[in-house]
Structures are given as structure tokens and as C-alpha cells.
Structure 1
Amino acid sequence: MLNKWEGIILKSIPYGEANKIVTLYTREAGKMTAMARGAKKPASRLAAVTQTFTYGFYLLRTGRGMGTLEQGEPIDSMRHIREDLEATAYASYIVELIDRLTEDSGASPNVFGLLHDALHAINEQYDPEAISLFVEWKMLPVAGVHPVLHQCANCGATDGEFAFSFQEIGFLCHRCFAIDPYIVRITPTQLRLIRTFFTVPIQQVGSLNLKKATKQFMKKIVRTVYDEQVGVRLKSRSFLDQLERTPELLPKKEKPREEGD
């Protein structure tokens, strides 16, 4: 069966002397893996459209086993992501996270929309670190984790002082702090940001310039949840950690006005 699907390339692996095996996430059919014959050859019509991050329309022949990529029509090659090391690093983390947390042939327009909006935002030079945080929080339910962020996870209260509990996987109000000796105290601003990351679509947020300390705090919480509840280890995360330790590897950029505390 021949299908024309809107999709984004998650990864592209060389296969043999001339071919590639590509994994793409499509709006209509979810994650698909296909053979792109001849795509390693520079002159191939499939060479450009099978590069990681490329967004386009793809003609796939499917049946039993692995499909075949017949044609591709690029919509956006995500040029800035390819040319900027920091953008490449965070975009790689996003596509690897989505690849690891999703099954083949399971359509999810929400996941496709999240992937598309995240890569588009990074390509438009929004803060890639903040964008990756949006993806990490929003992919928790896909990983089977449903944090309680709209009320106290223990008593259901919506008022008072709150903290984050890894034990309860969500917020605890001050009345319930005693049930978890390892709560992480959060400010009202941090509470709003966590809810924003989890619930608000990326395209509705606009420019969000967060202090480095704020992003580090949010990252520590969500990654601890992934480590304790999901158990995924990503190669791209190790590279991001290396960039954190050696920021001199990144070119200096104009520093935007920051928000958050």
C-alpha cells in the first residue's frame, strides 16, 4: 500500500553501501521505519529529505515488515538547527526522547504536534533549553507518568504553600508535607512554570526567557521523575551534560532579558 504522510525524520542510519534506514514520526500514522534505497548517494533524490529533523511529505510503501520510502517533498529542512551546535544538541535530545517513548505505528497527533512545534521553535531561535523542558514535561503521560499538578496529590487542596514530591509524583500542600520527608520546596513562580510546561502548547507561550538557575531547577525535577519512574537513558542527554560542563564549546550569543526566579 502506498501512503503519502506528513512527517519528521527522527533518525537516519546508514545501511549497506548506498541505503539508509529512516525512522520518521508522521501525523497520520505515528512512528514508522522505512528503507530509503540509494539515499546515501549524494545525487539521490532521497539524500536531502532523509536528514534528521527534516519536515516534509513522504511517500511510503507499506506492507509486511519494514516499509520503503519512495519519495520525499521537503517543507522545512530546519537549517538553523543543523548549523547551530546548541540547537542541534537540544533538538537531538527531543527527537531521541520521542523515539524512545513511542511505539511503531501508533498514531498520536498530539505527539506529532509537540515534535513539530518544538523543532519549529528551536529553528526560529527560541531558547532550545526551555523548549526541551516543554517536551520533557509534556511527554511524561506518553511515558505512563501522570503527575498531579492541579491540586495537592494527597488531600486535593488547591490553596496554600506547595512543594514537589517525587514519592507522590506531584504537588503536596503545606498541610501534607509530613508524608514525604524529601519534598522539594517551590515558589509560586516555579509552580506556575511547571504547570505551564505541562499544560500550555508551545506555540501559545511565545518568547519565554528563563534564568539559567530556573531552567536548572525545572530540569532537575523532571529528569529525576524520568530517572525514577521511566528509566530511559539517552545518548543525547550525555552530550547535553557535557555542554553544561564545558560551555566554552558554544559560541557566545547576545543574552536575552530573563524571567523567573
Structure 2
Amino acid sequence: MLQKIEGIVIRTSDYGETNKVVTIFTREKGKLAFMARGAKKPNSRLSSITQPFTHGSFLVQSGSGLGTLQQGEMLTSMRHLREDLIMSAHAAYMAELLDKSTEEKKPNPYLYELFEQSLHYLNEGYDAEILTAIFEMKMLQVIGLHPELSSCVNCGSREGRFAFSIRENGFLCHRCFEIDPYLLPLSQAAIKLLRLFYFFDLNRLGNINVKEETKKELRKAISLYYDEYSGIYLKSRKFLDQMERMQSLLNKEQEED
């Protein structure tokens, strides 16, 4: 049966010498995989439409097994995103996190909008590290994780200084710090941003200006939380960490010069 779907390419893998298996996260039907015959040929009409992060309208033929991608029309190329190595690495991480956190044929319009909006912001040049942190915080609910970020996880207080407790699954106020000797002390700026990223509407994102020290705090807190609770290992995270270390070294060298 032929049908038209809107979606974003999140993964491709080679199949034989000339074909690709293309995984598309769609608005209507969730995650779907299709055979794109001849897509590896440079002159194929499917070559450009099956590039990672392409937002398009696809004509597909589905059956009992793997469906077939017949043709597609590009809605957004995400060209700037693909041309920038750092932005592309962050987009690949988001796509892999989305892929590993979802099952096929499970529609989730909220998740589709979140991913599409995140890629658009990346393509427009917004801060990639902050967009990735927001995406990670939003994905927690998708994978069934619900840290307590609106009040102290122990006493319920909303007043005072806070720190992040991986073990207790949320914030602890200064009156309850002794409960977790391994709690993560964070600046109050990082605490506010963790809370904001978890709750706010991404469509309302304005100008982003976060200090490098605060970004490092966010990265550490979110990574430790994912490592402890998600059970998800992502190859793209390792690559992203390597790139961030290289960027940090370059920044230090420039400061010293």
C-alpha cells in the first residue's frame, strides 16, 4: 500500500552495494524503517533525500515486512547543520538517543515536535551544548525517568540552596545534604537551568547565553544521571565527548597565546 508520510531521517545503514535501510522518525506513525533501493548511487533520486537529519515528505510502500521508500521531497535540508562538524555531532547524538529510546510504530507527536524543533534550532546556529542538554532533560520522561526537580526530594522544601543527588533521584535542599554524602554540588545557576530544561516549552526558547563553567556542570550532572539510570550506551556520546575535549584544549591554547 502506497502512502505519504512526513518525517526526519535518523539513521541509515548500507544494504548490499547500492541500497540503504533508512530509519525515519515520522509525525504520524513514529519510527519506521524502509529499504531505499539504489540510494547509494550518486545519481539516484533517493541519494539526497536519505541523508541524515533530512526533514522530508516521503512516499513509501509498506507491507508485512520491511517497507520500501519510493520517493521523497525535501522539506528542510538542514544544510548548515550537516556542514558544521560540531553541530552535526550533536544532531547525531540526539538522533541516536531518540532511536535507542523508542520502539518502531509507536506514534509520539510530542517527541516528533521536540526533535524537529531541536534540529531547526541547531541549524539556525543556537548553542549546540545547551540544545543537547535540553533535549536530554526532555527525553528523561520518554524513557520513564522522573527526577524530582521542583522541590527537595527528602523534605519537600522549595526554599534554600540545592544540590543534585543522583542516588536520591532529585534535588536536596541544604537542610538535607547529609542524607547523600555523594551529592553533586552545583551552582544555583546550574540548578535553575536543570529545572528549567526539564519543565519549559522548547518553542519558547529565546537567546541562550550560559557560562562555560555552568555548561560543564550541566554536562556532568546529566551524564552521571543517564549513566546511573538510563541503561543506554550511545557511540555518538563518546565521539561528542572527544570533540568537546579537543575544543576545550583549543580554547586554552588560544587563551595562552
Shorter-normalised TM-score: what interval?
over 0.9
Match of 1:82 in 2: 82
Match of 2:17 in 1: 17
SS of the equivalent of 1:195 reads: helix
Q: Does 1:128 align with 2:134?
A: no
1:250 is displaced (CA, Å) by 8.0
Match of 1:221 in 2: 221
1:217 is displaced (CA, Å) by 0.5
1:210 is displaced (CA, Å) by 1.2
2-side partners of 1:52 and 1:74: how far apart? 12
1:208 is displaced (CA, Å) by 0.7
Q: Does 1:4 align with 2:4?
A: yes
- 1:166-224, CA deviations, whole angstroms, 9 ceiling, x for partnerless residues? 01111112222222111122333222211121122223122212111111110111111
Aligned amino acid, residue 73 of structure 1: E
1:249 is displaced (CA, Å) by 9.5
2-side partners of 1:161 and 1:246: how far apart? 34
Aligned amino acid, residue 45 of structure 1: R
Match of 1:205 in 2: 205
Residues 250 and 82 (structure 1), Cα distance of their counterparts in 2 relative to 1, 3 Å cut? farther
Aligned amino acid, residue 235 of structure 2: K
Match of 1:179 in 2: 179
1:236 is displaced (CA, Å) by 1.1
Contact kept? 1:86, 1:250, Cα under 8 Å: no
1:248 is displaced (CA, Å) by 8.1
1-side partners of 2:14 and 2:109: how far apart? 28
Aligned amino acid, residue 242 of structure 2: Q
1:245 is displaced (CA, Å) by 2.3
2-side partners of 1:250 and 1:162: how far apart? 33
2-side partners of 1:207 and 1:13: how far apart? 36
- 1:119-140, CA deviations, whole angstroms, 9 ceiling, x for partnerless residues? 1001001111111111111101
| Structure 2 unaligned spans of 5+ | 252-257
2-side partners of 1:163 and 1:60: how far apart? 50
Find runs of 4+ consecutive structure 1 residues off by over 4 angstroms: 248-251
Contact kept? 1:85, 1:250, Cα under 8 Å: no
Aligned amino acid, residue 180 of structure 1: D
- 1:57-92, CA deviations, whole angstroms, 9 ceiling, x for partnerless residues? 112222212111112110111001111111111111
Match of 1:44 in 2: 44
Match of 1:257 in 2: none
1-side partners of 2:45 and 2:213: how far apart? 45
Match of 1:233 in 2: 233
Count of aligned positions: 251
Match of 1:166 in 2: 166
1:247 is displaced (CA, Å) by 2.0
1:114 is displaced (CA, Å) by 1.1
- 1:214-260, CA deviations, whole angstroms, 9 ceiling, x for partnerless residues? 11110111111111101222111111121122228989xxxxxxxxx
1-side partners of 2:168 and 2:64: how far apart? 43
Aligned amino acid, residue 21 of structure 2: I
Q: Does 1:102 align with 2:86?
A: no
2-side partners of 1:107 and 1:250: how far apart? 42
Q: Which one is further off, 129-138 or 200-209?
A: 200-209
Match of 2:55 in 1: 55
